[in-house]
Amino acid sequence: MNGYSNKGYIATREGFGKGVLKAAETNERIVVLGADITGSVGLGPFREKYPDRFISLGIAEQNCMGVAAGLALGNMVPVFSTYAVFSALRATDQVRVSVCYNHLHVVIGGAHAGISVGPDGATHQALEDIAVMRVMPDMTVLSPCDATQTKLLTLKAIEDLKGPVYIRYGREAVPDFTPENQELLIGKGQMIKEGRDISILATGHMVWEALQAAYQLQEDGINARVINIHTIKPIDQEIIIRAARETKAILTVEEHQIMGGFGSAVAEVTAKYHPVPVIMTGMEDRFGESGKPEELMDKYGLNSENIIKKARELLSLKNDPH
């Protein structure tokens, strides 16, 4: 899967909406729950096309999650999405007890995730949702890298899975670079670029930044492998172990707190099966702030330039005999 190019800038929330809409064409059991921000999370087209299958519950996220659980018990396929700070964090108790404990097929959208929400500020920048959702028993956690992949993974989450699913996606338009006909399996990572010196494992919007960093590193004589981990739980242990064994050093990249998030999930695998140096790139135990998305991404090191810097640190650590 090499030779990726940017097809244009599209928000991953659009991909989520398209995936739900496509699934609803052949599955009349799909219902969508709204919490007053339906258009913002990509579900406006569903509401317009299937108004009788759309339920507006207002700004009451815990109630929405409970209703979703009840609908799932009634053999419906509920989709509920709001900002990730609300769907993953405000409604955590209902996700845990009402949805996961009962092994219900509820598809939960965590929209506007990460610091790239920008002007909404720290209260609306979900930087802890991966950590919270991946510890939930029975929960599948998906973090697609672009709009195309978000659409395809949303379809699979609705059509192929049985239990609870959390799909993390963003607001801002980002490069759309994966093909419509890509081989995509839940629980299996994607080799985006081969490499032998280090492995860069990225998730979500940061996959594109990791790829750009790898291209720049290659010009400097450093051959970096890039892997897209779109399924954080269940994580692809095989591709991680192979990366650790073959490149002997791993850099993780995420738009999330480094503690408890994607990098921690990768480190859990390497610690158990093939210990190697692991450096994590993400938010370092702090909140974000209000600002333009691109300025915040630069300030907090969530860009290709900082990935390059971290990659060089990792190479030094790998090559240090002590």
- pLDDT tens-digit readout, 253-285: 999 999 999 999 999 999 999 999 999 999 999
Q: Which region, left, alpha or beta, applies to residue 30 given φ > 0 means left and ψ of -120 to 50 means alpha?
A: beta
- Within 13 Å and on the Cβ side, how many CA atoms surround 59? 3
> Given this model, what pLDDT does residue 89 score?
97
Which amino acid makes up residue 258?
I
Q: How far apart are CA 34 and CA 134, in angstroms?
A: 24
Q: Which two tokens stand for residue 158?
A: 């609705």
The percentage of residues in the chain with a pLDDT greater than 70, rounded to a whole number, is 98
Q: Are 126 and 112 in contact (CB under 8 A)?
A: yes
- pLDDT tens-digit readout, 203-236: 999 999 999 999 999 999 999 999 999 999 999 9
Per-residue pLDDT band at 321 (split at 50, 70, 90): low
Domain 9-175 belongs to what topology?
Answer: Rossmann fold (3.40.50)
Residues 6+ apart with CB under 8 A from 202: 145, 209, 210, 226, 227, 228, 229, 252, 253, 254
Residue from 49, 3, 6 nearest 177 by CA: 6
- pLDDT tens-digit readout, 81-105: 999 999 999 999 999 999 999 999 9
The full set of domain ranges for the chain reads 9-175, 190-319
> Given this model, what pLDDT does residue 21 score?
97
Do the domains spanning 9-175 and 190-319 agree at the CATH topology level? yes
Query: The domain 190-319 is classified under which CATH number: 1.10.150.650, 3.30.365.10, 3.90.228.20, 3.40.50.920?
Result: 3.40.50.920
The residue that leads in pLDDT, 321 or 48, is 48
Rounded-to-5 percentages of helix, strand, coil across the chain? 45, 20, 35
> Given this model, what pLDDT does residue 3 score?
67
Q: How far apart are CA 251 and CA 203, in angstroms?
A: 12
Q: Is the dihedral of CA 91, 94, 96, 100 positive or negative?
A: negative
Q: Are 226 and 192 in contact (CB under 8 A)?
A: yes
Q: How far apart are CA 50 and CA 68, in angstroms?
A: 17
Per-residue pLDDT band at 1 (split at 50, 70, 90): very low
Q: How far apart are CA 293 and CA 57, in angstroms?
A: 30
> Given this model, what pLDDT does residue 90 score?
97
Residue 50 has pLDDT above 70, yes or no: yes
Mean per-residue pLDDT over the chain, rounded: 96
Residue 292 has pLDDT above 80, yes or no: yes
Count the Cβ atoms, other than its own, within 10 Å of residue 156: 19
**Residues listed for the chain:** 322
